[in-house]
């Protein structure tokens, strides 16, 4: 019997067994192909629609801090000690008077919302009766007056300083030889009041141009990088009620409004400030500089950043890996669809709280868990630990340049300061106390704080 070559080959193969293909090492296996012990199935999940971040109001306050002792010294240089002197002035029947008028120490205080300066005035007077070439003195007196001048410290709603007030009060009368010279002294002093008041009002500076200059400066963009900038949109100007604290007169003008990040920044565009609003007197306790900057990142970018961080060498070294993380908002939490590989594979639904890690300047996740009512994910603690340890997303804006740029902005408020007045300005590095989910993405709320103070010492 003749056997075909093909039949013979089949018989040999059946008797000896087919040779097996070599077993690939674990390193040559496709990811998760041979190590998945538990497969999880994606389950439908309906996230809670997140609310938008509430509007954030920012404030740039310019404080005035004038030590009362410094004000007294400054005024003392302007007001001479000897106010008036005259020798042998005819005063009618009583004869002739010789007098010297000297002021005492100035007293500065705050009376409600007016800066009040009290000036004690001493008059040394003597009266003589002419007898030929002689004029024997027959009486002396030293009346005392109190001059009080005040100016309002609260500006009008059109940024103007109100009118001053000046008054004279007699504290000690003058009687010489039975003649009461007090009415004449008071009448003469009252005649000077109008001139003094006119000089004070003429010396008051025009405030509105300075405020308008600061208002215009606030509308200029503040560079935060080569392409990004901070846009300030002020809409309100306030003045805090003046007060005396620790021996100093303090008040503050503040501009309030909203801030936004612009990328790319249109720094070449012409700046058109909004009209200067009417001034509002404020009783609010808030002072200084607080800039609240919402920094938004889309969910697409957040998901890409988180996935990239979870693909690092350290994150993929364990038995369980997260090869993809898709994020969205659910109420105040981040809802995630995590694609797992390794000993557990498939897709899992998780939720976590977003927070900002100041140490790494990254948005991270904590308290990772499953949504309420979901079945227990095997080794959920390991998956949560992996995400909490490695998942991170960078802010789209580098905030490191903010303090220097904002400090330069507020220092610009001090252009053309009077002699003896110095500006103290500083903006500290930002803090991010809140990361808030919205429908379109995550919002990191960055807050810059500091102060701008004009000091007279």
For 291, how many CA atoms within 13 A lie in the half-sphere containing its CB? Answer: 30
**159 Cβ contact partners less than 8 Å away, ≥ 6 residues apart:** 207, 208, 211, 276, 279
pLDDT band at 2 (very low <50, low <70, confident <90, very high): very low
Mean pLDDT over the full length of the chain: 86
Share of the chain above pLDDT 70, in %: 91
**CA 374/CA 43 separation, integer angstroms:** 9
Give the C-alpha distances (Å, rounded to integers) separating 327 from 94, 262, 297, 349, 351. Answer: 100, 25, 12, 10, 9
Q: Where is pLDDT greater, at 306 or 213?
A: 306
Q: Where is pLDDT greater, at 287 or 114?
A: 114
Give the per-residue pLDDT at 31: 44
The answer to whether the CB of 234 falls within 8 A of the CB of 256 is yes
What are 303-333's pLDDT values in tens digits? 999 999 999 999 998 999 999 999 999 999 9
**Three-point CA angle 334, 336, 342, nearest 5°:** 140
DSSP 216-271: HHHTS-EESSSS-EEEEEEEEEEEEEEEEETTEEEEEEEEEEEEEEESS--TTSPP
pLDDT band at 17 (very low <50, low <70, confident <90, very high): very low
**CA 152/CA 116 separation, integer angstroms:** 9
Please report where in the chains the tokens 């509105």 appear, as a residue: 208
Residue 225 clears pLDDT 80, i.e. is over it = yes
Q: Residue 150: name the closest of 200, 84, 99 by CA.
A: 200
Minimum mean pLDDT among 205-209, 304-308, 346-350: which range? Answer: 205-209
pLDDT band at 34 (very low <50, low <70, confident <90, very high): low
pLDDT band at 369 (very low <50, low <70, confident <90, very high): very high
């Amino acid at each position: 019997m003749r056997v075909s070559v093909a039949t013979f080959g089949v018989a040999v193969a059946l008797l000896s067994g087919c040779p097996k293909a070599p077993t690939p090492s674990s390193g040559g296996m496709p990811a998760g192909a041979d190590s998945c012990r538990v497969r999880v199935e994606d389950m439908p999940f309906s996230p809670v629609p997140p609310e938008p971040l509430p509007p954030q109001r920012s404030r740039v306050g310019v404080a005035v801090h004038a030590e009362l002792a410094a004000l007294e010294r400054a005024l003392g240089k302007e007001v001479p000690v000897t106010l008036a002197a005259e020798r042998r002035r005819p005063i009618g029947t009583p004869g002739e008077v010789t007098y010297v008028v000297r002021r005492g120490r100035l007293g500065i205080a705050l009376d409600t919302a007016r800066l009040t300066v009290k000036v004690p005035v001493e008059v040394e007077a003597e009266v003589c009766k002419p007898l030929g070439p002689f004029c024997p003195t027959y009486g002396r007196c030293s009346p005392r007056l109190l001059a009080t001048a005040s100016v309002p410290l609260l500006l009008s709603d059109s940024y103007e300083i109100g009118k001053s007030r000046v008054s004279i009060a007699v504290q000690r009368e003058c009687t010489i030889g039975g003649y009461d010279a007090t009415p004449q002294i008071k009448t003469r002093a009252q005649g000077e009041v109008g001139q003094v008041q006119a000089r004070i009002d003429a010396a008051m500076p025009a405030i509105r141009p300075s405020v308008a200059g600061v208002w215009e400066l606030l509308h200029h963009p503040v560079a935060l990088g080569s392409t990004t900038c901070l846009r300030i949109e002020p809409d309100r100007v306030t003045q805090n009620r003046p007060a005396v604290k620790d021996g100093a007169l303090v008040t503050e003008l503040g501009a309030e409004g909203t801030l936004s990040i612009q990328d790319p920044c249109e720094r070449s565009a012409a700046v058109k400030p909004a009209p200067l609003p009417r001034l509002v007197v404020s009783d609010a306790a808030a002072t200084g500089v607080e800039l609240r900057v919402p920094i938004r990142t889309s969910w697409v970018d957040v998901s890409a950043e988180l996935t990239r961080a979870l693909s690092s060498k350290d994150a993929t070294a364990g038995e369980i890996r997260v090869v993809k993380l898709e994020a969205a908002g659910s109420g105040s939490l981040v809802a995630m669809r995590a694609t797992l590989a390794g000993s557990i594979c498939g897709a899992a639904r998780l939720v976590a709280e977003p927070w900002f890690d100041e140490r790494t300047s990254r948005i991270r996740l904590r308290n990772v868990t499953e949504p309420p009512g979901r079945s227990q994910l095997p080794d959920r603690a390991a998956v949560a630990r992996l995400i909490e340890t490695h998942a991170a997303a960078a802010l789209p804006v580098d905030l490191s340049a903010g303090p220097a740029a904002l400090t330069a902005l507020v220092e610009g408020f001090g252009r053309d300061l009077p002699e003896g007045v110095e500006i103290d300005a500083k903006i500290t590095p930002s803090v991010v106390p809140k990361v808030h989910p919205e429908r379109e993405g995550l919002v990191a709320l960055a807050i810059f704080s500091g102060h701008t103070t004009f000091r007279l010492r």
